[in-house]
Structure 1
Amino acid sequence: MVTGQGDGWESDEVLLAELRAALAEARDVPAGFAEAARAAYTWRTVDAELMLLTSYDSILDGQLAERARAAVTARQLVFDAEGISVQVEVTEAGVAGQVLPARPGRVELLTATGVVEEAELDELGCFLLGPPPPGPVRLRIEADGTFVVTDWVCV
Structure 2
Amino acid sequence: MDRWESDEVLLRELTEALAEAAAVPPAFARAARAAYTWRTVDVELMLLTSYDSVLDAGLADRARAALTARQLVFDAEGISVQVEVTEAGIAGQVLPARSGRVELLTATGPVEAAELDALGFFLLGPPPSGPVRLRCEVDGSTVVTDWVCV
**Interval of TM-score (by shorter of Structure 1 and Structure 2):** 0.7 to 0.9
- Give the RMSD, CA atoms, in angstroms: 3.0
- Please name the residue that 2:104 is paired with: 109
Alignment map for 1:64-83 (pairs within 5 Å): 64-65=59-60, 68=63, 71-83=66-78
* Secondary structure at 1:63 match in 2: coil
AA aligned to 1:153 is V
- Please name the residue that 1:128 is paired with: 123
| TM-score (normalised: structure 1) | 0.70
* Aligned counterparts of 1:154 and 1:69: Cα–Cα separation in 2: 16
AA aligned to 1:58 is S
* Secondary structure at 2:146 match in 1: coil
Structure 1 residues 134 and 103, CA gap change in structure 2 (3 angstroms)? same
Q: Is the 8 A contact 2:70 2:85 kept in 1?
A: yes
2:47 aligned to 49, 53, 59, which one? Answer: 53
For residue 81 of structure 1, report the CA deviation from its aligned partner.
1.1
Alignment map for 1:129-148 (pairs within 5 Å): 129-148=124-143
| TM-score (normalised: structure 2) | 0.72
* Aligned counterparts of 2:99 and 2:36: Cα–Cα separation in 1: 25
For residue 62 of structure 1, report the CA deviation from its aligned partner.
1.1
> Which structure has the highest strand share of the two?
2
- Please name the residue that 2:89 is paired with: 94
* Aligned counterparts of 1:53 and 1:121: Cα–Cα separation in 2: 20
**What is the percent sequence identity of the aligned residues?**
84
Q: Work out the number of aligned pairs and report it.
A: 125
AA aligned to 1:141 is C
Cα-to-partner distance string for 1:108-140 (whole Å, 9 max, x where unaligned): 000000000000000000000000000000000
* Aligned counterparts of 2:89 and 2:123: Cα–Cα separation in 1: 7
Give the number of the structure whose alpha-carbon radius of gyration is greater: 1
AA aligned to 2:48 is T
AA aligned to 2:68 is T
Structure 1 residues 109 and 62, CA gap change in structure 2 (3 angstroms)? same
Structure 1 residues 112 and 69, CA gap change in structure 2 (3 angstroms)? closer
Q: Any stretches of 5+ residues in structure 2 without a counterpart? A: 22-31
* Aligned counterparts of 2:115 and 2:64: Cα–Cα separation in 1: 36
* Aligned counterparts of 1:88 and 1:65: Cα–Cα separation in 2: 22
Displacement over 3 Å in runs of 4+? 40-43
* Aligned counterparts of 2:86 and 2:64: Cα–Cα separation in 1: 18
* Aligned counterparts of 2:41 and 2:72: Cα–Cα separation in 1: 22
* Aligned counterparts of 2:52 and 2:65: Cα–Cα separation in 1: 18
Q: Any stretches of 5+ residues in structure 1 without a counterpart? A: 1-8, 27-36
